[in-house]
Amino acid sequence: FTDSPVLTGASNPIQSPLVCQPSPSLSKFFADNGSTNPASDFFDSFTTSSFISVSNPNAESPTVAAPPERQLSSSGTTMPNQTHQDVTTPIFFGAPPMEGPTGASQPGLAEATPPFSKLQAVFSGSDDPFATALSMSEVDRRYDAWLPSEETRKVLISVATQQFNPMHVDKECITMPGLKFDNLQGDAVKDLMLRFLGDQAAAKRQVLTASSVEQSFLGLKQLISTKNWRAAVDLTGRLLTAHGQGYGKSGQPTSHTTDSLQLWFVRLALLTKLSLFQNAELEFEPFGNLDQPDLYYEYYPVIYPGRRGSMVPFSMRVLHAEMTQYLGRPQESLDRLHSMRSVCQKILDNLEEGLAEDGSMMNLTQENRQEVSICELWSCVCTLVSSIAQDFVLAVATYQSLVQYEPEQTVQLLSAIGRIFLQIGDIKTAEKHFLDVEKICQTKADGQPLHTAVMMNRAFLYLSQNNYAEAHTCFTNILKCDPKNPVANNNAAVCLLYLGRLKESLRQLESLVQQDPALYLHESVLFNLTTMYELESSRSTQKKQALLEAVACREGDSFNTQCLKLV
């Protein structure tokens, strides 16, 4: 089931940003004060709040005829089945899948269902919703497991034993984030259009903005999948403002929930993908090293009764560690990753000894999820210690150790190691690794993808030996079996330039871009194309403008307009 978000059409006015509602405690609804708060309100709030319910993170609420005081979101959700074995798939109401990035906005299609049937659908695995909730908490425990530092542990213990006085908390050890900048600078593509193609053309540009989607996680996912990441960052800003952590709120005491941290994670991840590293670092700063007591579930015994572990998504920790590399401090990244690794290792050790993740006694039956997290961690280490870190010895060693964890990626990893050596200039060692790849490919029967890998490596080797003609032959060989391979097509054109065949190269790349823009309107290809336009003649601006027009129809606001070389 793919994510099938629904745009609210003209008929449904856009809801103002929702206030975060963590699941309320039962006592609010089952009090002795009469029937002013019926129990159904409890379930309503459980299922109709647009923020993810605690017990079932993936339950999206249905559209319901909204009672005036409640804000609703529409339905349609994704349920990744593979990891949640003990959670039954909820029934959801899908809208037809999204057409194109700035495609036709679709009218709201979700059907209205009464909240109780939705609740039963979610918990349909068992008659008792609370037993199911308890069994799901084991999955939570597994995912949220983290080992706090000594100081943090002390604070959490004092919270648990109710000796904790929030008035006396040391401001140094709580997390007080806030937006550090207001709005991202809109759509660079549109700006270029205004400048080079005129107002009329620019007006035709249709792209999703923070205001044109639902103000919810759903809307956010839409913006992400359509590559309108700047708009997505803006939307996270709005949602975080609703949560009380908006612009200017940094340094003010606040509280955190699973949802609010997910919002921060998405915001910071998108800033990273947009290469806005300084902005990301500024906003990461209040989170310290992601170990502060108020980032743990135990800090909120009223809101998350009985739940333990860290609210910080593991991927946010990885992002935090990677951040410093992009800011020119790769050693710090390595330090952070190593300390993460030691926590993961400690958790793994605990699990292997039959204890729970945090070392306490427990009954465990299922597979060690931490093993997966270590693999993820190491794959991130690899992405980290590549050329940017410039510590090639460590990069290569890490890639080599990763082969153990991800044997199905052996060919890709060994080829990547070979490429690292080519970047250093050590052609001989690169060749050795490429030969290893060839040996592996010979033993396997699977034809085309392996043949491509071997040819690709050979081509790079020829390139490094200044033999552009042979490199070109290798790339064209790949195209015989895989004519749509974008890398081979692009690289073949690049070789032609080095062989003095500018016109041919240009024609090849141009036709690729025209025939298959989905594949070829990519930053890397466009850099090559515009570079060659500039080499060809002084009148390259026209051709670049044509590229701009093509880009304007397809690409979201996160497109890197530098590759058009218009400014």
Partner 1 sequence: MDVNQAKQEHLLALKVMRLTKPTLFTNMPVTSEDRDLPGDLFSMLMKSDPSTIKGAEMVMLGEMLTLPQNFGNIFLGETFSSYISVHNDSNQVVKDILVKADLQTSSQRLNLSTSNSSVSELKPECCIDDVIHHEVKEIGTHILVCAVSYTTQSGEKLYFRKFFKFQVLKPLDVKTKFYNAETDEVFLEAQIQNITTSPMFMEKVSLEPSLMYSVTELNMVTSEEEGESTFGKMSYLQPMDTRQYLYCLKPKAEFAEKAGVIKGVTVIGKLDIVWKTNLGERGRLQTSQLQRMAPGYGDIRLTLESVPDTVNLEEPFDITCKITNCSERTMDLVLEMCNTRSVHWCGVSGRQLGKLSPSASMSLPLKLLTSAQGLQSVSGLRLTDTFLKRTYEYDDIAQVCVVCPFLSPES
Tell me if residue 65 falls in helix, strand or coil: coil
Q: Give the residue with the Cβ less far from partner 1, 174 or 396.
A: 396
Cα within 13 Å of Cα(352), Cβ side: 8
Residue 239 beta carbon to partner 1: minimum distance, rounded to whole angstroms: 10
Among 156, 337, 456, 547, binds partner 1 (CB under 8 A): 456
Q: CB burial class (10 A; 0-12, 13-18, 19+) of residue 325?
A: buried
Binding span for partner 1 by CB under 8 A among 94-102, 112-120, 213-221, 247-255: 213-221
Contact criterion met (CB below 8 Å) for 103 and 330: no
Q: Tokens in use for 447?
A: 């034809």
Decide if residue 85 touches partner 1 (CB under 8 A): no
Q: Which of 45, 74, 212, 272 binds partner 1 (CB under 8 A)?
A: 272
Q: Which region among 28-36, 101-109, 268-276, 338-346 touches partner 1 (by CB under 8 A)?
A: 268-276
424 scored as a contact of partner 1 (CB under 8 A): yes
Q: Name the residue nearer to partner 1 (CB basis): 46 or 326.
A: 326
Q: Minimum Å distance from CB 531 to partner 1?
A: 5
* Cβ-contact 528, 509 below 8 angstroms: yes
User: Per rule CB under 8 A, is residue 265 in the interface with partner 1?
Assistant: yes
| Residue whose C-alpha is closest to residue 456's, from 505, 423, 490, 424 | 490
Site for partner 1 in 374-403 (CB under 8 A): 376, 379-380, 382-383, 386-388, 390, 392-393
- 378: tokens are 């190491």
**Smallest distance, partner 1 to C-beta of residue 69, A:** 26
CB nearer partner 1, residue 193 or residue 505 = 505
Q: CB of residue 280 vs partner 1: minimum separation in angstroms?
A: 11
Q: Per rule CB under 8 A, is residue 486 in the interface with partner 1?
A: yes
Q: Does 196 bind partner 1 (CB under 8 A)?
A: no
Binding mask 145-184 for partner 1 (x = CB under 8 A): ----------------------------------------
| Near partner 1 in 538-557, by CB under 8 A | 538-539
- Judged by CB under 8 A, the number of residues near partner 1 is 90
Tokens for 462? 């020829």
225-254 residues in contact with partner 1 (CB under 8 A) are 225, 227
With contact defined as beta carbons under 8 Å apart, do 401 and 382 qualify?
no
Distance, in Å, from the CA atom of 224 to the CA atom of 241, rounded to the nearest integer, reads 19
Binding segment for partner 1 (CB under 8 A), chosen from 39-47, 107-115, 284-292, 314-322, is 314-322
The stretch among 65-73, 100-108, 439-447, 455-463 that binds partner 1 (CB under 8 A) is: 455-463
CA angle 534, 536, 537 (to 5 degrees): 75
Q: Is residue 94 near partner 1 by the rule CB under 8 A?
A: no
Interface stretch with partner 1, choices 67-75, 200-208, 291-299, 484-492 (CB under 8 A)? 484-492
Q: How far apart are the first and last CA of the chain?
A: 43
Q: Which two tokens stand for residue 552?
A: 């304007």
Neighbouring C-alpha atoms within 13 Å toward the C-beta of 214: 26
Query: What number of other Cβ atoms are within 10 A of residue 500's Cβ?
Result: 9
Interatomic CA distance for residues 423 and 360, integer angstroms: 48
Task: Tell me the residue length of the chain.
Answer: 567
- x/- site string to partner 1, residues 111 to 140, per CB under 8 A? ------------------------------
Among 35-43, 220-228, 289-297, 343-351, the segment contacting partner 1 (CB under 8 A): 220-228
Burial state string for 448-459 with b = 16 or more CB within 10 A and e = fewer than 16: eebbbbbbbbbb
Nearer to partner 1, 202 or 219 (CB): 219
Which two structure tokens, joined as six digits, stand for 258? 């699973």
Query: Can you tell me which of 221, 308, 336, 433 binds partner 1, judged by CB under 8 A?
Result: 221
Residues 325-354 interacting with partner 1 (rule: CB under 8 A): 326
Angle at CA of residue 305, ends 301 and 311, nearest 5°:
75
**Do 423 and 434 touch, CB atoms closer than 8 A?**
no
Residue among 93 and 533 whose Cβ is closer to partner 1: 533
Q: How many CA atoms lie within 13 A of 452 on its CB side?
A: 16
The residue type of 514 is: Q
Q: How far is the CB of 213 from partner 1 (least distance, A)?
A: 14
Distance CA 205, CA 186 (A): 13
CB of 367 to partner 1, least distance (A): 15
